[in-house]
Amino acid sequence: MRKIYKEIIIILIILAILAVISYLLFSTFNNPEEVRDYVNSFGAFGPLIIILLITIEVIVAPIPGAIVSIGSGAAFGPFYGTIYTYIGNIIGTTIAFLLSRKYGRPLVKKFVEKDKLKTYDHFFKDKGVYGLWLVYMFPVFPTDILSFISGLTNIKFKKFFTIISIAYLPNMLILNYFGDSLITNGFGLVTIILGSILLAIFLIFTLYMIKYKKTIK
């Protein structure tokens, strides 16, 4: 038991250092255009930077993930932008899940607020696999903390990996397509439609979770 807690402390220290470094490097990202310009400054290494940014965001969450994904679409277009952010999310989510699965609730409590942990604990127990499909398919849920909470469920890793491998595709495609539209069309009809869809999804699920939270005793 002491060995496990020592390992948890070491992991927390490493992740804290990553969080501080990434925050200092990327705290200037206030909009997708800044992400695009930053990534483009690395030339051929831009895709690796996007993958790294997304991976870090999922694990230590100092960067707004949606902004990075939209910025990726603006920098690389909807096809390649989706591929790069998809890879980063798969890597980050897998690491978070496996850390949670190995070290359990003591580690997760360090990353997730008590209230959110209680809400999504109940949500996953209530909705099961359907709940996992839901939170990873739509770009409105905090997939960073949910990746840790998912590790506390009884789902097998192979099944979890299958779900995120499929569900992340529409999630990333929507955000990257929106980012590309912002650059190519400005605030034209396509951008407005995509933005309206994103806003509608956000409002629907936000209201749903507010209502659902009230049912938890």
Residues 6+ apart with CB under 8 A from 88: 50, 51, 52, 53, 54, 55, 57, 58
The secondary structure element, H or E, covering residue 81 is: helix 65-103
Three-state secondary-structure class, residue 139: coil
Rounded to an integer, what distance in angstroms lies between the CA atom of residue 10 and that of residue 37? 35
pLDDT tens digits for range 23-72: 555 555 555 666 667 777 777 788 888 888 888 888 876 456 677 788 78
Select from 217, 202, 211 the least CA-distant residue to 118. Answer: 217
Q: CA triplet 152, 3, 151: central angle to 5 degrees?
A: 10
Domain count, the chain: 1
Select from 183, 110, 120 the least CA-distant residue to 152. Answer: 120
Angle between helices 65-103 and 32-40 (to 10 degrees): 80
**Structure letter (DSSP) for residue 25:** H
Residue located via tokens 């695009």: 36
Enclosing domain of residue 112:
2-214
Three-state secondary-structure class, residue 195: helix
The neighbour count for residue 214, using CB atoms within 10 Å, is: 8
Length, in residues, of the chain: 217
Can you read off the two tokens belonging to residue 206?
């936000």
CB 137 within 8 A of CB 170: yes
pTM over 0.85: no
Q: What is the pLDDT along the chain (217 residues), one digit of tens a residue?
A: 555 555 555 555 555 555 555 555 555 555 566 666 777 777 778 888 888 888 888 887 645 667 778 878 878 888 999 999 999 999 999 999 998 998 888 888 877 888 888 888 888 888 888 889 988 998 888 888 888 999 999 999 999 999 999 999 999 998 888 888 877 777 777 777 877 888 888 888 888 888 877 787 6
The secondary structure element, H or E, covering residue 57 is: helix 46-60
pLDDT tens digits for range 96-109: 999 899 888 888 88
DSSP string, 100-136: HHHH-HHHHHHHS-HHHHHHHHHHHHHHTHHHHHHHH
